[in-house]
Structure 1
Amino acid sequence: MSFARVRALLVVGVLAVIAVVFVAVTLVRDTQAGKQAASDCNEGDKLADTRLRLPKDIKINVYNGTDSVGLANTVKTDFQNRQFQVLKAGDEPNRKGIDDAVAVLRYGPRGVGSYHVLKAYFLNEAEPEFQLDREDDVVDVVIGGEFKQLATITEVHQALAQGSGGPQLPPQTCVDPDLT
């Protein structure tokens, strides 16, 4: 192969890489998707925050739904070691139906994205409990009788990848256009 041909292939290759990067950046910064979702709101729908947050930006309360003494504080420490903001820890007063669950995650419209991240720490086996009237972005983590341990970082990434393509909007909610 001649030098001119190698140089031409190199130039075409570099241009192709630049084009792929340009297209990827354009797709990531596309703002039309958020505006379209906002127009899908029905009257009475609550605005939901579907952004996937980093653990350091997720606020949680940890409650022990089992008879194991001190479990909430142990799980609280595990979440703090993973950089979560743990606001409260203690025993869950209403333990009905939690013995046969890994965990129950209670959240409102402002905690949809946080819930999606948190359920990966339970390998997508935590039961959701959506509360439409909840105004804050805090997720309550109620540890159930089937809980063994939090997932490793690798398992969390795999669980997020296996998740249903991102946070799913609960009924009577729509994407907040100011948060897209």
Structure 2
Amino acid sequence: MAAVATAGAVVAVTAGVALTWPRPDAPTPPPPAAAAPTPLNCVLTLPSEPADVELRVLNGGVPAARLQSTAVALRERGFSLRFTQTAADPETTTVLRYGPAAIGAAHLMRAELHGDVTMRFDPAHRDKAVDVILAPSFDRLATPTEINQNLVTAGEPTAPPQC
């Protein structure tokens, strides 16, 4: 009985070693997949009113008087405004910089601006504020009719590829 048990143990150990022993002809298993990046919480809904949109107005080269008058007009339209005269890097067109929590707000804000506007999604921009960087080419806000036309033309906000 002891001889049978010993022989069984030897067979089991030999089989286990043979199965796990590396063989040069066997393909190596692929390395473990990298962890998928955490998806961003992207907010695509349009704000129900301008007070729900938080703005930071930055000078991207626009004259100071136009910067001031635009800030006043945005406040009069009901936007929550953190006005700052801190100069951003000079821009050639007005820029809206926003993050995942402000996609819908940036979409609405784009409709408020007349002329060329560059939309810049920044996944690292974690608050819900939209940075409005006014360039020298900026001349005015859109009229109510232009805002409605801009919203219809733009359609619903869409998620950037990072979302």
TM-score range, shorter chain: 0.7 to 0.9
Pair 87,124 (structure 1): closer, same or farther in 2 beyond 3 Å: same
Q: Where does residue 162 of structure 2 map in the other structure?
A: 172
So what's the TM-score if we normalise by structure 2? 0.72
Contact 1:66–1:144 (CA under 8 A) maintained in structure 2: yes
**Alignment deviations for residues 75-96 of structure 1 (CA, whole Å, 9 cap, x no partner):** 110100110000132132311x
Q: Distance in 1 between matches of 2:88 and 2:54?
A: 21
Q: Which runs of 5 or more residues in structure 2 are unaligned? A: 1-35
Rounded to whole Å, the distance in 1 between the matches of 2:134 and 2:54 is 16
CA contact (8 A) 2:62 2:134 kept: no
Counting only pairs closer than 5 Å after superposition, residues 85-164 of structure 1 correspond to structure 2 as: 85-95=80-90, 98=91, 100-101=92-93, 103-123=94-114, 125-163=116-154
User: Considering only aligned residues, what root-mean-square deviation do their CA atoms show, in Å?
Assistant: 1.6
Q: 2: CA distance between counterparts of 1:82 and 1:67? A: 21
Unpaired segments of 5 or more residues in structure 1?
A: 1-41, 174-180
Q: Is the 8 A contact 1:119 1:125 kept in 2?
A: no
Give the aligned partner of residue 15 of structure 2.
none
How far apart in 1 are the matches of 2:101 and 2:114? Answer: 22
Distance in 1 of aligned mates of 2:114 and 2:141: 8
Deviations 1:70-123 (A, max 9, x none): 33222110100110000132132311xx1x31x100100000000000001124
Identity %: 28
Greater than 2 Å deviation, 4+ residue runs: 69-72
Q: Is the contact between residue 107 and residue 139 of structure 1 (CA under 8 Å) also seen in structure 2?
A: yes
Q: Distance in 1 between matches of 2:65 and 2:114?
A: 23
Q: Which residue of structure 2 aligns with residue 63 of structure 1?
A: 58
- For normalisation by structure 1, the TM-score amounts to 0.66
SS of 2:148 mapped into structure 1? helix
Tell me the matched-pair count: 127
In structure 1, what is the equivalent of residue 19 of structure 2?
none
Is 1:49 the equivalent of 2:39? no
Deviation at 1:134, TM superposition (A): 1.4
Alpha-carbon distance in 2 for matches of 1:83, 1:139: 15
Encode CA deviations 1:43-76: one digit per residue, 9 max, x unaligned.
Answer: 5220111110121110001111115123322211
State the one-letter code of the partner of 1:46.
Answer: L
SS at match of 1:112: helix
